[in-house]
Structure 1
Amino acid sequence: MSMPTYKVCCDKCDYEAWSLKLWGAKEYIDSEGQRIPVDVTLNWCNECQSLEPVESFDHTEEYVKKLKEALNNIKDNTNSVPKLFYIRLMSWFRGADQCFLNEALEYTRKIELDFKRKGTEKCLTCGADDVHIYSGNKGIDWQLKFENDNDNTITNIQHPNCGGEFYISTDVIRVAMSSDMRTFTINGEELINS
C-alpha cells in the first residue's frame, strides 16, 4: 500500500525529516493484555537530535466526545422495550451493542492514559523521555492537511539548537512500504517480540 509522505525542513539550516517516520501500527499492551492504539506525532528528541515519532497525549477532548457518542449509541439501542426484545432475539443487535461497548471501553482507556501519562512522553525511536513536545495544534502528524498546495506550510515550531523554524515542504510523494506492528508497555517501553 502506498501512503503520502511529506518533508519537514528548517528555514535556517539544511535539516530535513520525512513524515514516513510516523508510519506503522503502534499499540500499548496493558497488564490485562488489552491493546490500546498509540497516538504519535513528530516532536524533537534531544537524544536523537532530530524530529522523531513521540507519544502524544493531546487527544483527551476528542476521546471524550467519541466516548459520549458510543454511550449514546448504546442508550439508543436499549431505551425501549421493543428494542430490548429485538436485542435479545437477534444477534446483529447484540453484535452492534458489543461494538459500541468495545468503542466505549477503548476511549475510556485512552482518556485514562492521556491523564496518567501527559508530561511523560517518550521518543518511540530511542525510548528517551528527553523530548520537546510541541503542544496543541502545533503537533506534526502523518495525516497533515495542507492549507495551500502551492506554499510551504509554516509550523511556528522552532528548530532547537538552531533557531530556525520548521516548515512543511509542498513536496509530497507517495511511498509504498510494509509496516511492522510495534508494541509498548503502558509506560512507553517497547516490547521486543520474539
Structure 2
Amino acid sequence: MSVPSYSILCTQCDYRSSSNATNGQYYYKDDEGQFNLERQLGWCNGCQSITAIEDFGKTSKAASEIRSKLELISLKTGTVWANILNVLFKSRREWLDSTIETINSYAKYIELAKARTGQERCLKCSSYVVVPYKPTKERGDLDVHGFMYHGERNTDFEHPGCGGMFYEKADNVRLHGKFEPRFYTTEGVFIESCLEKTKY
C-alpha cells in the first residue's frame, strides 16, 4: 500500500515523527471475534513521541453507519421477492452476513467508547498518559496535490519536555509498505500481530 505522508518535526530539537503512525490494520479481539479499532495521532508520554492512540470520538459516525446499513438490509429483505432472491443467490446471503457483522462491529465500538472514553491508550506501549495530536493549523500551507503532500505549516502544539513547537512538513516521497494486522484487547493492550503468528 502506498500513502501520502508528512513529517512532524520540532522547531527546537531534532525530533521527527510521521503522519503514517496510524496507518495499518488495527483490531480489537474478544471472545466473539475481532472488530475495527479506531485510532488517531497522539502524544504519548510513555513513548515520548507522536504515535497511534485509541480514538473514541467517532460514535456519531458509527451510529450513522449502523442506520445506513439497517436501511440497506431493510431494502434487501423487505419483500417476498427480495427474500426469494436471498434464498437463491449465495452472494446476497454473504452480503447480508457481512453487513450484519459490520453493524455488530460498529455497535461494539459504541459500547467500548461509552465505557472507556477518557481512558485511551497508546497503541505502541499501552500507556494511558496520552493527548490527542489535534493542533490548530497555523501559518503555512500543507495540502495534498497529485497524491502527495506539498508545503509545510506551523502548529500550536508544544513539544512536551522540550519547549519547541511542532510543525508539519511534506515528505518528498510516497511511502510504500505492507501492513500486518495488529490485535489488541478491548482494554487497548497489544496481543499480537499476524506477522508474529506466522513465525510459529
Same fold per superposition (TM over 0.5): yes
For residues 112 and 155 of structure 1, do their structure 2 counterparts lie closer, same or farther at Cα, with a shift above 3 Å needed?
A: farther
For residues 120 and 94 of structure 1, do their structure 2 counterparts lie closer, same or farther at Cα, with a shift above 3 Å needed?
A: same
For residues 155 and 85 of structure 1, do their structure 2 counterparts lie closer, same or farther at Cα, with a shift above 3 Å needed?
A: farther
Q: How does 1:111-150 map to 2 (within 5 A)?
A: 111-134=110-133, 138=135, 146=143
Deviation string 1:76-123 (CA, Å, 9 cap, x unpaired) is 112222222322333333222222212211111121122222111111
What one-letter code is carried by the residue in structure 2 that aligns with 1:59? K
Which residue number corresponds to residue 161 of structure 1? 161
Which residue number corresponds to residue 44 of structure 1? 43
Distance 2:96 2:24 in 1: 30
Unaligned runs of 5+ residues in structure 2 are 137-141
For residues 175 and 134 of structure 1, do their structure 2 counterparts lie closer, same or farther at Cα, with a shift above 3 Å needed?
A: closer
For residues 61 and 75 of structure 1, do their structure 2 counterparts lie closer, same or farther at Cα, with a shift above 3 Å needed?
A: same
Which residue number corresponds to residue 59 of structure 1? 58
Percent identity between matched residues is 29
More strand by share: 2
Distance 1:134 1:7 in 2: 13
- 2:171 corresponds to 1:174: no
Question: Please, what is the CA RMSD of the aligned residues?
Answer: 2.5
Unaligned runs of 5+ residues in structure 1 are 140-144
Size of the alignment, in residue pairs? 186
For residues 19 and 160 of structure 1, do their structure 2 counterparts lie closer, same or farther at Cα, with a shift above 3 Å needed?
A: same
For residues 10 and 88 of structure 1, do their structure 2 counterparts lie closer, same or farther at Cα, with a shift above 3 Å needed?
A: same
What is the CA-CA distance between 1:20 and the residue it aligns to? 3.2
What one-letter code is carried by the residue in structure 1 that aligns with 2:131? H
What one-letter code is carried by the residue in structure 2 that aligns with 1:146? D
Deviation string 1:128-172 (CA, Å, 9 cap, x unpaired) is 11112346xx59xxxxx8378654244443322344432221235
8 A contact 2:28–2:183 mirrored in 1: yes
Which residue number corresponds to residue 109 of structure 1? 108
Which residue number corresponds to residue 139 of structure 2? none
